[in-house]
Structure 1
Amino acid sequence: MKRREVLAMLAASALVEVTEVATSEAQAAQAPFTDEVELAKPNTTGSVTLEDAIQRRRSVRSFKPEPLPIESIGQLFWAGQGITNPDNGRRAAPSAGALYALELYAVTATQVLHYLPQGHRVETRDSADLRPKLRSLAVDQASVGNAPLVIAVAADPGRLKQRYGGRANLYADLEVGHATQNILLQAVTLGLGAVTVGAVDGPKASRALKLPQAQTIVYLIPVGVPA
């Protein structure tokens, strides 16, 4: 066999391998959630004032291992993206043009949860513990691996591009900040600690959680009872 034919066969084989990997990753990114849970009605009459929550908010990186109850997870989700006006669907955090470029996910030792603002629900998928993987993708920050709950804030700027063009990415990032601060303050009112982690490989983290390809994780928020 001539050298040119060998090289052509090797190139074709490499192309097939790359295509198979890409296809596999795309299929993994679209893995469906299997169960849906209606969350308890969010508490809107807490005993901690906004001013007190602002005063007390600090980054917490050490947590007790005890899992968080689903009621607390639901309250955190609601603070970030919950619907606060059923008449028009407006949410707890502002969004450019009310187009809502964000999706909230949470990772526990046994599940991945995806928040559904309509109806205040979560869809869940049983999973091996992905926190060590997320930790490795977040420059080995211990809080990501040790927190009983890691909230992942994912953005899809494409939802904003038709209206805002080149500013879509900026507006999506601003929206991430709005929602994240709400979650941090809500954590304080629940007696929980939290910290924001921006040093994360978003595309790889998104694939690890098997998110839709249009969504990229921008922020991780480890949450738990302070140690």
Structure 2
Amino acid sequence: MRRRSFIKFLLSTPLGRLISGLLFTGAAAGVLYLDLQKTDVRRSEGALKAILLPYPKLSGLVSVEEALANRRSIRDYTEEPLTLEELSQLLWAAYGVSETRYGLRTAPSAGAQYPLELYALVGTNGVKTDKGYLAPGIYHYDPHSHSITLLKQGDFREDLYYAALEQRWVLTAPVSLIFTAVYSRTVRVYGERGRVRYVPMDLGHAGQNVYLQATALGLGTVAVGAFNDEEVARILGLSERETPLYIMPVGRPASRYKLSEKELIDYIEKHRRR
């Protein structure tokens, strides 16, 4: 029996359904995964199961002004994982729903076409939950149900690291958010201007949201645009209509930047005297 046929048969049995259930419930040793082998779970029957994220919080301890002042591109992270709540908040801030009549998002989009898609590449022990750790793998974010779906199981950080021209922070971050674009959504309304002007603007808006939310949560991130498009598309399993645009590793900063009002005033005064 061929391997794929065997897996399909196994998942149809009671034992297979139990194993599939353990993948998401965390019943095995208090974790959310059983096998670290890289697999495309989209090819397995019944494997696409949404994980409902904690509800987004609409208030925090850090003001917009503080987040703007202390936002930096962070490339050095500790080994600590993110929490599921932090991942939830980052995904919502990046591209979640902030208006409930039409489902408008936290980031503006030309003509409300929303060409971007958002993925989370989670490393081994990269996201801590109440029951252990989120299964390592590639997840797709659904903003309307505020949930993620595991598309490919396994720790793909090393693959992404090589695709991103061996930028170390892509390898060491516990999670990388990856933005892609379906250009046709915007191009059908605005033509080629949508491709060269409006979609990049949409990406900038969403990327800055990630920066500011990460800062407010005490996390760090950096926008990575240097990578092999074809390799990243292969890792994510994208169709031809979808193009990768941004990789944003996220982790706990090894050192924190903090701007004081005095430093800012002194800087401004020095340049006023020139």
Q: Which TM-score bucket, shorter chain as reference? A: 0.7 to 0.9
Name the CA distance, whole Å, in 1 between partners of 2:219 and 2:43: 31
RMSD over aligned Cα atoms: 1.6
Residue 237 of structure 2 is aligned to residue 210 of structure 1? yes
Partner AA of 1:178 in structure 2: H
Of 192, 205, 230, the residue aligned with 1:178 is: 205
Displacement of 1:125 in angstroms is: 3.2
SS of residue paired to 1:46: coil
Name the structure 2 match of 1:25: none
Partner AA of 1:48 in structure 2: V
Of 111, 121, 124, the residue aligned with 1:107 is: 121
Name the CA distance, whole Å, in 2 between partners of 1:192 and 1:31: 34
Identical positions, percent: 39
| TM-score when normalising by structure 1 | 0.83
| TM-score when normalising by structure 2 | 0.69
Residue 160 of structure 2 is aligned to residue 134 of structure 1? yes
Name the CA distance, whole Å, in 1 between partners of 2:244 and 2:152: 20
Partner AA of 1:146 in structure 2: T
Of 74, 83, 90, the residue aligned with 2:104 is: 90
For 1:21-170, list aligned pairs within 5 A.
Answer: 34-109=48-123, 110-169=136-195, 170=197
SS of residue paired to 1:112: strand
Displacement of 1:104 in angstroms is: 0.6
Larger relative contact order, structure 1 or 2 (CA cutoff 8 Å, min sep 6): 1
Name the CA distance, whole Å, in 2 between partners of 1:96 and 1:203: 26
Of 233, 244, 251, the residue aligned with 1:224 is: 251
Displacement of 1:167 in angstroms is: 1.0
Structure 2 regions of 5+ residues with no counterpart? 1-39, 124-135, 255-274
Contact 1:31–1:211 at 8 Å: present in 2 too? no
SS of residue paired to 2:178: strand
Residue 223 of structure 2 is aligned to residue 196 of structure 1? yes
